[in-house]
Amino acid sequence: MAKKSLIQREKKRQKLEQKYHLIRRSSKKKIRSKVSLLSEKTKMQEKLQSLPRNSAPTRLHRRCFLTGRPRANYRDFGLSGHILREMVYACLLPGATRSSW
């Protein structure tokens, strides 16, 4: 089980990302546009840099829905590998086949 403080930190990052998503997207669009002047692009770049660092979507991690584990997550299920395996062995996931080697 992951530390609760790390899970809360991740939730805070998700809220910040949702809050600043539109501002970040519009400023990036204006920076990439070919019509705008160089001075406008620098202003938009400064605006983009003034946003909180944790509002960037690249700082988010997928975590296991049950344990909060940040590694070995399956996107389809939202679970980490060993929890997924335990659920398959307990026949809690329909359609999943068990493997043995």
**Domain extent listing, the chain:** 1-60, 62-101
Indicate the pTM of the whole model: 0.71
Secondary structure string (H, E, C) spanning the chain = CCCHHHHHHHHHHHHHHHHCHHHHHHHHHHHHCCCCCHHHHHHHHHHHHHCCHHHCHHHCCCCCCCCCCCCCEECCCCEEHHHHHHHHHCCCCCCCCCCCC
pLDDT of residue 33: 83
pLDDT tens digits along 59-99? 988 899 898 898 999 998 899 998 998 998 898 888 888 77
User: Per-residue pLDDT for 15 more than 90?
Assistant: yes
pLDDT of residue 34: 77
pLDDT tens digits along 22-42? 999 998 888 888 777 888 888
State the fold for domain 62-101: 30s Ribosomal Protein S14; Chain N (4.10.830)
Residue 101 pLDDT class (50, 70, 90 cuts): low
pLDDT tens digits along 45-61? 999 999 999 999 999 88
pLDDT of residue 80: 93
